[in-house]
Structure 1
Amino acid sequence: MRYTSPQEWINITRQIFREYYSSANFQLPDDMSLREFAFQLMDREGYVRNLQFLTQEQFKNFVRENIPFHMFYSVGKYRNPASKEFEDMNWLGSDLLFDLDADEICEGNQISLNNAQMSLQYVDLTVECLNKVYAQAKQLRDIIENDFGLNYTIHFSGNRGFHVVVYCDLYCSQLTNKERKEIAYYVKTKGIAIDEQVTIDIRRLIRIPGSLNGKAGLLVTIVEDNFIPSFNTLSPFTEFIATFLPYFPLKISPLGFKVEMIANQRIKIPLSVALYLHLKGLGEIIAYT
C-alpha cells in the first residue's frame, strides 16, 4: 500500500531529479533553435509542447526551474517551432529515427502484483535483454552505414530500448512519409524489430541525451562503442543511499542488482536502484543520503 500522498511522492521525486539537473549537461542538436521542445512535468497531466530555445543556457534554465519528468525535442526542423498549429510551423525537414524496444525483442517474464490499494504488472529489466536489444541496434547501425551511407548515433532511451538517429540534411531530411515507410520495411526485412510508425512520423519527438527517463530514473545516453547495462553506468545517483519501503514481497534483479523485498519492511539500497523501483511503482523512497 502507498504511505505517502501523491504530492509527497512528487516532492521527493522532484528533489532527487533536482540533485542531477542542478549541474547536468545535455547533448542538444546544433540547430536546436529550429526544434520543437516538449516536456512532461511532474505536477500536471499531458505535455507542455511547442517550446523553442535559442541557446543551451536558456534550455538549462527552463529545466532547473521546472524539473521535468520527461524531456524531448523534435526530429522535425521548423522555421517557427513555437507555433501551435503544424501548418504555421513551416516544416524544413526531419531527421530519420528508428526505435527498438525490449518489449518487442525480449521474452520478458511479466509479474502480476497486488495489494489492498493497487495492482500492477512488472517486467524485470535484465542485462541479457538490454544486450539483445543493443545487438539489434548495432545491426541497424551497419545497415544505415553500409546500405544507405548515412551518419547516425545510437541512444539508450533510459528505460527499455534504444533509438538510432540519423541527423539529416539535404535530401535525407526531405524524405516523405512514404519513402520513410519503405526504409522501415527494408530494415524489418533484415530481421530488425523496429517500430515502423516511429520511422514514418516526421513530427516525432525524441528523448534528450543527458536527461532522465521518468519511467526508470536512468540516463538517456548516446552510446559510443561499448554499452554496459548497469546502474553504475546508467545512473547519476550511485553515490547516494536510500531508505526504500516496498509495497510487495518480491525478488528481482534489475540490471543485475539483486533485490529481495518484504512488503512494508524498509531496506537500504543505492539510490540508483531505489529510484528505479520507486518509479516502477514497487515501493517508495522515504529518504536518501
Structure 2
Amino acid sequence: MSKVPDPVTLGKKYFHMYYKDVKLSDVYVTSFVNREFAFSYFGERGMHRHISFAKPEDLIEHLRMTVPRHAYYSTAYYRDPGAKNMDEKVWLGADLVFDIDVDHIETPCKELHDKWFCKSCGASGWGNPSACPRCGSEAVEKHAWVCGTCISVARDEVLRLIDLLEMDLGFSRRELLITFSGHRGFHVHVETPEVKELSQDARREIVDYVKGIGLDARLLTAKTKGGHRLRYQVPLLGWYGRVARWALIKTGSEDPVISLSEWQSILEVSVSREAVAVDEKVTIDTKRLIRLPNSLHGKTGLKAAIFTVQELENSNIWDRVKVFTKGEVSLRFEGEAPKRVLDIELGENRELTLPTYAALYLLLNGAKLSKFEYR
C-alpha cells in the first residue's frame, strides 16, 4: 500500500501542470497595471503582497515559476500598486464586488458533508450548527465541504443578484464579471466607471438594498378605509414591485386593502424569497484582495472559472471548474467521511475509487486518509 502523499508536494505538482500551460487569454484583469497582486505559496505561511506587473506576460511568467497555492488581485485601482505602504499606492477607485458563499446560506446538504466539533464538551456531528447542540457553546470548529446542491443554491443566488443589479440598479450584464470562487460560491464584479469612487457607506447602502435590509411596510403603504393599501400607483419596480406581486399571489387582488401586519408579513416573504445573501465585508471593502480569475484554489484544486450569465444559467458548473480529470485514485477514509462532495455521491463508503480531481480535492481540503493509490 502506498503512503498517503503530502498535500503540499502533490498539490504543487498538479498546480505546476496547470500553470505551465496558462495562456495570455487566461488572464482577465482590466486596468492591469493599476492592480496589486498577492500570492501564497505551497509550504509557506502568510501572503506575499504589494506586487505589480508591467504586463500580463510578466504575471504568467510568475505563475509558471512560483506555482502559487492561491493567487489574488486587488478590487482597487492604484497609481503605484507595488508600493509597500498603502498610502503611497494612491487609491484611484475600486470595482463593486459581491461575494456569494454557501457558508452564509442554510442548505439541507450540509447534513451530508459538513462536520463540526465542540471544543468545550467534545461533541461532534454533521451539519452547520451555530452553537453546540449538547452544551450550547459557540466554540464550534467546522470542516466544510462542497457539493452539487451547494453550487446550485449559490448559482441561483447569483442569478437573483444579477436581476437586482439589472432591473433595479440599472447595470448591464456586459459590465459584470462573474467568476467561480474556487470553493463554495461565486464572485460578481461590477466594472464600470460609475461605481469606482463609491464610498464604503454607499456600498453598504447597496448591500442593504440587495439583502432587503431596512424595508418597512409602513413606508410602502398608506392607511385607508378598512386597512392599508400600497401607497403609490406607479410601475411596479424594485422592492415595491416585488411586494405588490407577492400581495397579488396571497390575496388575488391587484390593489388589496389589508392590515398593516399582513403587509409586513408579505414584505417578509418577499425578502425571504428574493433578497440575496451577499457577504457585506467584501462589498464595502474598497481595498479588497480577491481571487484571480482562472487561477486555482489551493484548498480544492478547482479553477476560478469565468462565466457569462448565459453560461451560468445553462452550463454544467463542474465541467467548467474541474481541471485534473484524467485518471483515478483508490483511497480510504480514516473515521467518518462526508457522504457527498463535488459532483460525486460517496454514500456510506469509506473505501472507494474516485476521479483524480475529487481525490485531490479531498487531500487538499484536509480529509483524513489512510490510503491514496493511483489506478
Whether the TM-score (by the shorter chain) exceeds 0.5 is: yes
Letter in 1 for 2:282: V
Instruction: Find the partner of 1:278 among 360, 363, 366.
Output: 363
Please say if residues 77 and 91 of structure 2, whose CA atoms lie closer than 8 Å, have aligned partners that are also in contact. yes
Give the gaps of 5 or more residues in structure 1.
114-118
Find the aligned partners of 1:262 and 1:199 in 2 and give their Cα distance.
Answer: 41
**Cross-structure match for 1:239:** 326
The structural deviation recorded for 1:182 is: 1.0
**Cross-structure match for 2:283:** 199
More displaced stretch, 242-251 vs 47-56: 242-251
The structural deviation recorded for 1:241 is: 2.2
The structural deviation recorded for 1:129 is: 2.3
Is 1:46 equivalent to 2:40 in the alignment?
Answer: no
Q: Please list, as runs of the form range in 1=range in 2, the aligned pairs for 1:54-203 lying within 5 A after superposition.
A: 54-107=54-107, 108-109=110-111, 110-112=114-116, 121-150=142-171, 151-169=175-193, 171-189=194-212, 191-203=275-287
Find the aligned partners of 1:187 and 1:133 in 2 and give their Cα distance.
Answer: 15
The structural deviation recorded for 1:78 is: 0.4
- Which is greater in Rg? 2
Q: Secondary structure at the match of 1:242?
A: strand
Please say if residues 76 and 204 of structure 1, whose CA atoms lie closer than 8 Å, have aligned partners that are also in contact. yes
Please say if residues 124 and 252 of structure 1, whose CA atoms lie closer than 8 Å, have aligned partners that are also in contact. no
Letter in 1 for 2:209: Y
Find the aligned partners of 1:65 and 1:237 in 2 and give their Cα distance.
Answer: 20
Find the aligned partners of 1:261 and 1:41 in 2 and give their Cα distance.
Answer: 35
Please say if residues 75 and 95 of structure 1, whose CA atoms lie closer than 8 Å, have aligned partners that are also in contact. yes
Q: TM-score, normalised by structure 2?
A: 0.68
**Can you list the C-alpha shifts for 1:176-202, whole angstroms capped at 9, x where unaligned?**
111111111111115111111111100
* Structure 1 segments (4+ residues) deviating >4 Å: 228-231, 260-263, 284-289
Q: Secondary structure at the match of 2:342?
A: helix
Letter in 2 for 1:246: F
Q: TM-score, normalised by structure 1?
A: 0.87
Is 1:255 equivalent to 2:342 in the alignment?
Answer: yes
Q: Secondary structure at the match of 1:226?
A: helix
Find the aligned partners of 2:317 and 2:340 in 1 and give their Cα distance.
Answer: 11
The structural deviation recorded for 1:231 is: 4.2
Q: How many residues align?
A: 278
Give the gaps of 5 or more residues in structure 2.
118-123, 125-140, 213-270
Q: 1:123 to 1:9 in 2, by over 3 A?
A: closer
The structural deviation recorded for 1:142 is: 1.5
Q: Secondary structure at the match of 1:250?
A: coil
Find the aligned partners of 1:19 and 1:283 in 2 and give their Cα distance.
Answer: 25
Find the aligned partners of 1:211 and 1:283 in 2 and give their Cα distance.
Answer: 26
Letter in 1 for 2:195: C
Is 1:30 equivalent to 2:23 in the alignment?
Answer: no
Q: 1:129 to 1:260 in 2, by over 3 A?
A: closer
**Can you list the C-alpha shifts for 1:26-78, whole angstroms capped at 9, x where unaligned?**
33223111000011111211100010012221101111111111111101000
* Superposed CA RMSD: 2.5
Please say if residues 53 and 59 of structure 2, whose CA atoms lie closer than 8 Å, have aligned partners that are also in contact. yes
The structural deviation recorded for 1:175 is: 0.6
The structural deviation recorded for 1:242 is: 2.8
Find the aligned partners of 1:82 and 1:39 in 2 and give their Cα distance.
Answer: 13
Please say if residues 212 and 220 of structure 1, whose CA atoms lie closer than 8 Å, have aligned partners that are also in contact. yes
**Cross-structure match for 1:12:** 10
The structural deviation recorded for 1:251 is: 5.1
Q: Secondary structure at the match of 1:53?
A: coil
**Cross-structure match for 1:116:** none
Find the aligned partners of 1:99 and 1:12 in 2 and give their Cα distance.
Answer: 29
Please say if residues 73 and 205 of structure 1, whose CA atoms lie closer than 8 Å, have aligned partners that are also in contact. yes
Percent identical among aligned pairs is: 31
